[in-house]
Amino acid sequence: MLHRDSCENYGAVLTEKIQVIHPLLPDATQPFWSVMIPTYKARPDYLEETLKSVLQQDPGPAQMQIEMVDDCSPDGALVELVRRVAGDRVAMHHEPVNNGLAGIWNRCIERARGKWVHILHQDDVVLPGFYDHLYHGISCNPNVGMAFCRFAISDANGHWKEFGPLESSTAGVLDSWLERVATDCRVQCPAVVVKRATYERLGGFRTDLISVLDIEMWIRIAANVPVFYEPQILAVFRRHGDNQSVLDERTGANMQDMARAIEIWKDYLPASSRTQLEEQGRRYWAGIALALAQYFFSNNDVAACTSQLHAAKDLWNRGEHRFRRLRLEAKVRLHRALGERAIAGMREFRRRIRPA
C-alpha cells in the first residue's frame, strides 16, 4: 500500500498532490489497450511517425482505443494530419485550457477506456511487436501492474544513439526492481504500459513535480505491484532540442525537481534499506548533474552549467562529488573574470602541449 507522510495524513497526500483516478463503470466491450497520445504544439513529421508506429500494430477498435489528447495548443491540433494518416481510427480530444505536463497525462488516464494504458508522446515511436509482446507477458503474469520493454534513445533524426539497460536476458517479472529504479535512470515513457487499475489504486501523476514525475510514478508503482519486463527493444525515445527534458536541463529544473522527488519517494523504500538507497540515488543523480554541468561549460553555456551545479549541490554535496563541483565552480568564476576568448585560448594552449 502507499506509504503515509510523516504527519500520517495519507488522505491529504492522495487528494492534494496525487490526482485520484476514478474507476470506469463495468463495460463488457472494454478494449484491452488504450493508446493515449498527449500533444502540445506537436511537430507534424514526428507526430505522423508516432501515429503510424501504432497503426501498423492496430488490432482493431475492439481491442485498442487510440486517442490524441491535445493540451490546448495555441495553433490548434493537427486535425488534417491525423485524418490523412488515420482517417477516423484515431479519436481526437481538445482541452479548453492548458493543463501542464502532469495535468495532460492525468487527463489521458481519465479518458482511457482500456484495461491497460499506454501514454505515448507525440515524438516517440513503438516498434513492430510492442503490443503483442507486452500482451503476451501480461496475460502470462496477470498479477503485474506495469510492463515495459527495453528501449532505444534516438537523436532528432531518428538515429539510435543509446540503449536502455538490459534488466534481464529473458522476459518475466523483475526481481529487486524497486531498488534498481529508485537509484538509476532505467526506463523511458514510450516503453511503459500501466494497468488502469494500478492508476486507480495509486493515483495519477503528481502535480507538484514538473520534470521527473514519470520516474516518481515508476518508483511508486514498483513499491506496490510486480512489474513485467520484455528484453527486446520495442520502443524509441526521441531526444531533440524541443524535448521538455532537454529544456529543463538548461535551467537545472530537472535536477532541482529530482531533489524534491527523492524526498517524496524515499518513503516508498523498505525501511531496512531506505537510507542506503536514498543516498545511492542522490549520488547517482548528482553525478548526472555534474556531467551536464561539465557539458554545458565545455560548450560555453555558463548559465546552464551554473544551474546544474546548484542542483548537484542540493542532491549530494559530499566527497568526490563536492570536489568536482567546487573545481568546476572555480572554472566558471575564471570564465566570468577573463571572458570566453581567454578561456578558449587556454584550452587551445593545453591541447597543443598535451603529449600525443
Tens of pLDDT, residue by residue over 101-141, are 999 999 999 999 999 999 999 999 999 999 999 999 999 99
Domain count, the chain: 2
pLDDT digits (tens, 9 = 90+) for 243-265: 677 778 888 889 999 999 999 99
Q: Alpha carbon of 175 to those of 223, 227, 262, 313, 322: distances in Å?
A: 12, 9, 22, 32, 33
**212 and 262 fall within a common domain:** no
- Torsion of Cα atoms, 296 then 301 then 302 then 304, to 10°: -70
Asked if residue 224 is part of any domain, the answer here is yes
**116 and 230 fall within a common domain:** yes
Spatial CA neighbour of 280 closest among 262, 261, 260: 262
**253 and 236 fall within a common domain:** no
CB 286 within 8 A of CB 280: no
Spatial CA neighbour of 239 closest among 290, 308, 190, 289: 190
Helix (H) or strand (E) holding 312: helix 302-315
Domain boundary among 199, 220, 242: 242
How large is the average pLDDT for residues 289-314? 94
Cα 27 to Cα 247: distance, rounded to the nearest angstrom:
42
CB 228 within 8 A of CB 138: yes
Spatial CA neighbour of 238 closest among 227, 229, 246: 246
- pLDDT, residue 245, reads 74
**135 and 253 fall within a common domain:** no
Cα 196 to Cα 177: distance, rounded to the nearest angstrom:
20
**270 and 154 fall within a common domain:** no
Place of cell 539497460: 165
- pLDDT, residue 356, reads 60
pLDDT digits (tens, 9 = 90+) for 210-235: 999 999 999 999 999 999 999 999 99
Three cell numbers at 125? 515511436
Full domain range(s) for residue 335: 247-353
pLDDT of 1 over the 60 cut: no
Domain boundary among 242, 258, 282: 242
Domain boundary among 187, 207, 242: 242
Report the chain's mean pLDDT, rounded to a whole number: 91
240 backbone dihedrals φ, ψ, rounded to 5°: -150, 175
Reported confidence tier of residue 267, pLDDT bands at 50, 70, 90: very high
- Tell me, what CATH number does 111's domain have? 3.90.550.10
pLDDT of 299 over the 70 cut: yes
Asked if residue 14 is part of any domain, the answer here is no
Can you name the residues that pair with 229 across neighbouring β-strands? 148, 172
**144 and 28 fall within a common domain:** yes
Cα 226 to Cα 280: distance, rounded to the nearest angstrom:
22
CA 352 and chain centroid, separation: 42
pLDDT of 77 over the 80 cut: no
- pLDDT, residue 2, reads 44
Asked if residue 6 is part of any domain, the answer here is no
Query: How buried is 196 (Cβ within 10 angstroms: 0-12 exposed, 13-18 middle, 19+ buried)?
Result: buried
